[in-house]
Amino acid sequence: MSTDIPSLQPPQTRHTAVVGSAFLRVPPTVAFGPGVARRAGEVASQFGRKVLVCSDRTVSEFVPAYDAVLDNLDRTGAETRVCLDAMPDVPIGSVIECFATLGHDPVEVIVAIGGGSVIDTAKLLALLLSHSGTLADYYGENEVPGPCLPVVAVPTTAGTGSEVSPVAVLTDPHDRVKIGIASSHLVPRAALCDPETTLSCPPTVTAYSGMDALVHALEAYLCPPRPDAWEAYPGEVFKGKNPLSDMFAASAVQALCPGLEQVLREPTNLGARTAVLFGSMCAGVAFSHAGTAGAHALQYPIGTLTGTPHGLGVAILAPYVLDYVKDHATVQLAELASMLGAPACSESDAATWMVDEVARIGKLLGIPTTLAAIGVRADDARRIAQDASKIVRLTKNSPRPLDVDDLETIVIRALRGA
């Protein structure tokens, strides 16, 4: 059984050669490999002794690394408090309740151990513990006024990339779609990515979150570059792709495509789990800069309408969105196809091969092939398209402009399985 990080080919990115600037905004410490979660206490002790551990009941019961993190905190002499009330999809009420239970006792660092919802809850608690006001004051991009309490993130699923990203997503009942808070101040101070923590991840969570990671990488790689965006720093959080984000996106696709197939067959194979978590982390870095696009914009209203998991929705949508934008991103799709060893053929055929490959992997992982399968109806299509078109921070990242009619066309095709 191999636990090596997958060997990767350097990306062949002709189209990015014209971009004159590149940048990375990542946690100052990123540790990857079996066993790194067991050092969480030592990493957290750099930031203080008063530690809040943020997690949920499932992780505390079923993920062995949870106890290892608490033991390590004990050994470093930390004064540890635990909050296990993080909830799936981060309802705003759950964050406010967690915050209220903290009272006036100071917290110096938060250790988050769990999936994306746990890490996002920790980021939002760090925000509330550092700045006055309500979470609604910070909705959108770059509204957080300054640094937040340090978060040490230990992911137990491979998908959201929240451990390296500047984003926290929450559900607010006052809005019809999920809300994101994106700010460079929400990037965790350390990401400890330990594939052993994902060994107990159930098959459906592995499939949905793994496909989510693959879509993060694809949408980041297909995003148009915006060479001037860097001059407005900090400004918008998502600044288009750049050669550094491309390196991470390409590495993610190369790790995830074979890794997801293998992890499906052998869920306890640490080598396969390593590839998928590595891909998910790389995809997180890539979309933290480039942003995500059409599949994510459509999934926000579809997720609200159907109550289906985020990864399931983006996985169903991805082949339809990719097919729709394919002629505007032929070179990029062909590059990815070549990295995955597609048979020699024309650029256009290689782009089609790549779209088919995403559909094939989704099917293999048990992802339904139509939106009808998750309860979307034909008369929902227009409203979904209208709601998605308002999420300009995502639609602007599409290589093909997406207005309401474009988005409705994609939804209708995905409904029928066209």
Beta-strand ranges (E) seen in 330-373 are none
- Per-residue binding string, Zn ion, 206-235, x by CB under 5 A, is ------x-----------------------
Q: One-letter amino acid identity for 299?
A: Q
Mark 160-187 as b/e (b = at least 16 C-beta within 10 Å).
bbbbbbbbbbbbbeeeebbbbbbbebbb
Please choose, out of 204-212, 259-267, 273-281, 341-349, the segment that lies near Zn ion by the rule CB under 5 A.
204-212
Burial of 372 (0-12, 13-18, 19+ CB in 10 A): middle
Enumerate the H helices of 103-202 as residue ranges: 116-130
Q: How far is the CB of 311 from Zn ion (least distance, A)?
A: 7
Q: Closer to Zn ion at the Cβ: 212 or 335?
A: 212
Q: Closer to Zn ion at the Cβ: 53 or 394?
A: 394
Distance in angstroms (rounded) separating the CA atoms of residues 163 and 167: 10
- Judged by CB under 5 A, how many residues of this single chain contact Zn ion? 1
CB 352 within 8 Å of CB 319: no
Q: How far is the CB of 171 from Zn ion (least distance, A)?
A: 15
Distance in angstroms (rounded) separating the CA atoms of residues 139 and 144: 9
Q: How far is the CB of 304 from Zn ion (least distance, A)?
A: 15
Q: Closer to Zn ion at the Cβ: 212 or 357?
A: 212
Q: Closer to Zn ion at the Cβ: 196 or 387?
A: 387
Please choose, out of 108-116, 186-194, 205-213, 322-330, the segment that lies near Zn ion by the rule CB under 5 A.
205-213
Q: How far is the CB of 407 from Zn ion (least distance, A)?
A: 17
Q: How far is the CB of 177 from Zn ion (least distance, A)?
A: 14
Q: Closer to Zn ion at the Cβ: 11 or 309?
A: 309
Cis peptide before 234 (omega within 30 of 0): yes
Q: Output the residue with the shortest Cβ distance to Zn ion.
A: 212
Q: Please, which residues have CB within 8 angstroms of residue 220's CB and are 6 or more apart in sequence? A: 241, 245, 248, 249, 283, 286, 287, 289, 290, 291, 292
Q: How far is the CB of 102 from Zn ion (least distance, A)?
A: 29
Which residues are near Zn ion by CB under 5 A?
212
